[in-house]
Amino acid sequence: MDFLTVLPTILKAMAMGAVPILLASLGELFSERAGLVNIGLEGLMAIGAFVGFAVAKMSGNLWLGLAAAMAAGVIVNMLYAFCTVTLCSDQVVTGMAINILAPAVALFGYNLFVGSDPANATGAQMPSIAIPGLSELPFVGGALFNQTLLAYLAFLLVPLVSYFFRHFRAGLSFRSVGENPHAAETLGIDVVRMKYVACVICGALAAAGGAFLTLCYTPIYIDGIVMGRGFIALATLIFGRWSAVGVLGASLLFGFFDGLNVALQAQFQAAPVMFFKMIPYLFTIVALVFFGSRRAGPRASGQPYFREQR
Amino acid sequence: MAKEAISAQERRERALMVLTPLVSVLLALVVGAVIIACLGKDPIEGYRAMLQGSLGDLSKLSKTLERACPLVFTGLCAVFAYKCGVFNLGGEGQLIMGACATAATILGLGGEGVPALALGLLAGIVAGALWALLPGILKITRGLNEMITTIMLNYVALYFMEHIFKNVFSDQGLPKTVALPAGVRLPKLLGAHVGVIIAVVLGLVVWYVIFRTSFGFKIRAVGMNPVASRVNGFPVRRLVLLAFIISGAIAGLGGAVELMGKTPFRLAAGFGAGFGFDGVAIALIAQLNPIAALLVALLFGILSTGGIMMQSVIGVPTAIVDIIRGMIIIFTVAGMASIKLPQLRALIASWGSKSTEAEASA
């Protein structure tokens, strides 16, 4: 296999594979910074994928589809927020409940949507936009600088989020809520409101990641389309060390192995392709083995917050 | 006097713990009915069709039991692991690997009759246990989050099964394995395969082990407070690893039973799909009680087989039962959390003390 000839394939698939993970992972970053471990990303992505697909198809406007997907993600994640923040339920259990409920709602909606008119099965796709100049670079240009606008926006989010958490008052408040909510409360930060805000952002971003799958990746929705990406996003956050830049690097690394899988499949068509498809999942485990220390996370993450408790 | 008050409160809390899932099921069915009504269909007719399609006669009942059977295994797999504080989401992968091992031993070695049957079941148990051992080792040595690793291994197992049914034991090049020979299929009893009985017995055994043996006590202690357990001299890491292995073995046995018991007796795309998360849902709704898990699995079986009949009678997609299932678990989680809230606890306690006062005066 000549590396240089397959490099564009890998890079193209890397950028495509990284975006949904990146979006979901950035959403989870907000959530965990505010002390909420949300393992319901998989479900949020599923609902985002379906709503984005259906609304874009119905209205013919891809951005309306994206907006609707994000709104749906927020609505579903409000269920999570209500249970975990207001009722102080177990975050892992609640996230798991979201993972079971949200794909079911998406599947039900899909059955109604496509059942009413089989022509609905194939949706619309975002066009790629080549950046003049950069996209003409040899080998890497066509692969990296010829993306959909949503992908560019996702990558643009990284410096914004990073700056937000470091230099904005609100960003620092977020971090204090995740580290020590009681101390944050004494400083006049409304912890409960902060957590709800985090859930709104997390729901919107994770659903946008899901919508990317149906608006930019493949033009169809199928049950189980998320394929564990929600959980990979959780892993990405861990080996991205809870920072936006780290998450970007980890997402790209994951995307690279996804791209390697695609390139190997194209290269060795006679070989059992299933083993190539295992690569991203095995890589996630291996990466966690080396960079999986849980200690770097926000200290109060995962714990319920009782305001009256001392 | 003080002791009595505590026990009365405890009794109330236990009653609430049983009541919450029951109320959740009812609420979820009501939500389901509202959705059906919104689509302009008759929910009562729909639910009648559901009951008829799942429990209407012996053949339907046996179909429901066979549908519930693998869910009992994945449900017990989840229950056992969570009791030890291990959030094993890999029931599906462990079940699939169990079924792959069963298929490989039976189709690879040949053989018929009871020895082959026993060997097939054993292979399933061992493969399931090994598939859970890996995340177990990663957890106790590297502290890796088992939720992520087990989910990743689910997908690896899925692709491995694809390899088995496409390349290794493919039926004339089709994407499915050769069907198991008649001599190694589980015998039938009243229309359902005996795996159902294995599942029920296993539920009782798991209940006994968790609640009536010292090993089960240690498992529960580690699940409640690993630090206190370590201080107490319990081998926490070994117990956690054992919880992984046993829960994986349960799921693996489920895979073997599903393959050897249920038509078409072969691996193909979609085998075991969704069983893992259903098992998690069952464990959570059942409040980690193995016997309750049997009942919840039966409920899931009724919803699944009945949902097909409901679709054909009133024309609502079967995914409505997935929504109902999801609502049950959301309501249960919210309900269990809210009865533990300090404000509501105080309310319940005051309401309870009034009733005991009333009892005392009467």
Each residue's pLDDT tens digit, A259-282:
888 888 888 877 788 899 999 999
ipTM entry = 0.91
Per-residue pLDDT band for A295 (boundaries 50, 70, 90) equals: low
User: How far apart are alpha carbons A283 and A236 in whole angstroms?
Assistant: 11
Q: What is the DSSP letter of A131?
A: P
Q: Is residue B247 part of a domain?
A: yes
Interface test with B, best of A283, A285, A307 (most B CBs within 10 A): A285
* pLDDT score recorded for residue B1: 44
Q: Least CA distance to B324: which residue of chain A? A: A101
Each residue's pLDDT tens digit, A190-215:
999 999 999 999 999 999 999 999 99
Q: How far is A216 from chain B (nearest CA, A)?
A: 23
* pLDDT score recorded for residue A123: 85
Closest CA to A91 of A44, A37, A137, A160: A37
Q: How far is A23 from chain B (nearest CA, A)?
A: 18
Give percent above pLDDT 90 in chain A. 59
B31-39's contacts with Cβ under 8 Å and 24+ in sequence apart are: B31/B323, B31/B324, B31/B327, B32/B320, B32/B321, B32/B323, B32/B324, B32/B327, B35/B320, B35/B323, B36/B314, B36/B316, B36/B320, B39/A112, B39/B316
- Which range has the worst mean pLDDT, A223-232, B93-102, B150-159, B333-342? B333-342
Sign (positive/negative) of CA torsion B195, B201, B203, B209?
negative
Task: Give the predicted TM-score (pTM) of the model.
Answer: 0.92
> Which residues of chain B make contact with A282, given a CB cutoff of 8 A?
152, 156
- B80-111 core/surface letters (b: 16 or more CB in 10 A; e: else): bbbbbbbbbbbbbbbbbbbbbbbbbbbbeeee
Q: Is residue A310 part of a domain?
A: no
Instruction: Judge: A228–B151 Cβ closer than 8 Å, yes or no.
Output: yes
Instruction: Judge: A115–B317 Cβ closer than 8 Å, yes or no.
Output: yes
Q: How far is CA A290 from CA A283, A284, B138, B142, B231, in A?
A: 11, 10, 11, 9, 29
Q: Least CA distance to B141: which residue of chain A? A: A289
User: How far apart are alpha carbons B92 and B69 in whole angstroms?
Assistant: 14
Q: Is residue B245 part of a domain?
A: yes
pLDDT averaged over every residue in chain A: 89
Q: Is residue B41 part of a domain?
A: no
CATH code assigned at A162:
1.10.3470
Please, which residues have CB within 8 angstroms of residue A201's CB and are 6 or more apart in sequence? Answer: A27, A30, A31
> Which residues of chain A make contact with B151, given a CB cutoff of 8 A?
228, 231
- Cross-chain CB nearest to A108 (options B147, B322, B338): B322
Q: How far is A16 from chain B (nearest CA, A)?
A: 20
Tokens 């693996």 correspond to what residue?
A: B252
Residue-number span of the structural domain to which B192 is assigned: 69-306
Each residue's pLDDT tens digit, A115-146:
888 888 888 888 888 888 777 777 777 777 88
Q: Is residue A301 part of a domain?
A: no
Instruction: Judge: B147–A234 Cβ closer than 8 Å, yes or no.
Output: yes
Mean pLDDT of A38-58: 96
Q: How far is CA B288 from CA A71, A183, B194, in A?
A: 34, 35, 25
Instruction: Judge: B163–A275 Cβ closer than 8 Å, yes or no.
Output: yes
Residue of B274 and A302 predicted with greater confidence: B274
User: How far apart are alpha carbons A230 and A260 in whole angstroms?
Assistant: 20
Each residue's pLDDT tens digit, B210-235:
999 999 999 999 999 999 999 999 99
Instruction: Judge: B325–A102 Cβ closer than 8 Å, yes or no.
Output: no
Q: Is residue A256 part of a domain?
A: yes
**The dihedral formed by the CA atoms of B121, B63, B269 and A256, expressed in degrees to the nearest 10:** -90
User: How far apart are alpha carbons A40 and B151 in whole angstroms?
Assistant: 13
User: How far apart are alpha carbons B329 and B15 in whole angstroms?
Assistant: 18
Collapsing DSSP states into helix, strand and coil, what is residue A148? Answer: strand
User: How far apart are alpha carbons A32 and A198 in whole angstroms?
Assistant: 8
User: How far apart are alpha carbons B204 and B213 in whole angstroms?
Assistant: 13
Mean pLDDT of A215-235: 92
Decide: B352 and B8 in contact? Cβ < 8 Å.
Answer: yes
Q: Which amino acid is at B111?
A: G
* pLDDT score recorded for residue A143: 74
Q: Least CA distance to B160: which residue of chain A? A: A274
Each residue's pLDDT tens digit, A69-124:
999 999 999 999 999 999 989 999 999 999 999 999 999 999 999 988 888 888 88
User: How far apart are alpha carbons B35 and B314 in whole angstroms?
Assistant: 13
Q: Is residue B329 part of a domain?
A: no
Q: Is residue A24 part of a domain?
A: yes
* pLDDT score recorded for residue A215: 94
User: How far apart are alpha carbons A44 and A106 in whole angstroms?
Assistant: 10
Decide: A221 and A110 in contact? Cβ < 8 Å.
Answer: yes
Q: How far is CA A79 from CA A198, A199, B87, B97, B147, in A?
A: 13, 10, 22, 35, 21
pLDDT averaged over every residue in chain B: 91
Q: How far is CA B261 from CA A201, A287, B99, B185, in A?
A: 47, 39, 11, 6
User: How far apart are alpha carbons B121 and B132 in whole angstroms?
Assistant: 17
Number of domains present in the structure of chain B: 1
Q: H helices then E strands: how many in chain B? A: 14, 4
Task: Give me the helices (H) in B43-177, please.
Answer: 43-55, 58-83, 91-109, 113-142, 146-163
Decide: B28 and B328 in contact? Cβ < 8 Å.
Answer: yes
Instruction: Judge: B152–A111 Cβ closer than 8 Å, yes or no.
Output: no
Tokens 């994770």 correspond to what residue?
A: A206
β-pairing, B192-193 vs B188-189, is antiparallel
E runs forming strands in chain B = 170-171, 174-177, 188-189, 192-193
Using alpha carbons only, give the angle B80, B81, B84 rounded to the nearest 5 degrees: 95
Instruction: Judge: B333–A93 Cβ closer than 8 Å, yes or no.
Output: yes
Tokens 């090994």 correspond to what residue?
A: B130
> Which residues of chain B make contact with A272, given a CB cutoff of 8 A?
163, 166-167
What are the DSSP calls for A111-123, one per residue? HHHHHH-GGGGS-
Please, which residues have CB within 8 angstroms of residue B353's CB and are 6 or more apart in sequence? Answer: B5
> Which residues of chain B make contact with A96, given a CB cutoff of 8 A?
89, 277, 280-281, 284, 329
Q: What are phi and psi of B327, to 5 degrees?
A: -65, -40
Give percent above pLDDT 90 in chain B. 79
Please, which residues have CB within 8 angstroms of residue A228's CB and are 6 or more apart in sequence? Answer: A42, A281, B151, B152, B154, B155
Q: Give the H or E element holding residue B247.
A: helix B236-261
Q: How far is B18 from chain A (nearest CA, A)?
A: 17
- Cross-chain CB nearest to B144 (options A110, A112, A288): A288
Whether A296 has a pLDDT exceeding 90, the answer reads no
> Which residues of chain B make contact with A308, given a CB cutoff of 8 A?
342
Q: Least CA distance to B135: which residue of chain A? A: A285
Number of domains present in the structure of chain A: 1
Q: Least CA distance to B311: which residue of chain A? A: A111
User: How far apart are alpha carbons A297 and A34 in whole angstroms?
Assistant: 11
Q: Is residue B256 part of a domain?
A: yes
Q: Give the H or E element holding residue A129.
A: strand A128-130
Q: Which amino acid is at A188?
A: G
Residue-number span of the structural domain to which A239 is assigned: 3-125+137-296
Each residue's pLDDT tens digit, B310-331:
999 999 999 999 999 999 999 9
Per-residue pLDDT band for B362 (boundaries 50, 70, 90) equals: very low
To the nearest 10 degrees (0 to 180), the angle between helices B58-83 and B290-314 is 140
Instruction: Judge: B326–A101 Cβ closer than 8 Å, yes or no.
Output: yes
Whether A307 has a pLDDT exceeding 90, the answer reads no
Paired residues of B192 in beta bridges: B189
Q: Is residue A224 part of a domain?
A: yes
User: How far apart are alpha carbons B299 and B292 in whole angstroms?
Assistant: 11
Instruction: Judge: B144–A292 Cβ closer than 8 Å, yes or no.
Output: yes
Instruction: Judge: B152–A105 Cβ closer than 8 Å, yes or no.
Output: no
Mean pLDDT of B62-89: 96
Instruction: Judge: A278–B156 Cβ closer than 8 Å, yes or no.
Output: yes
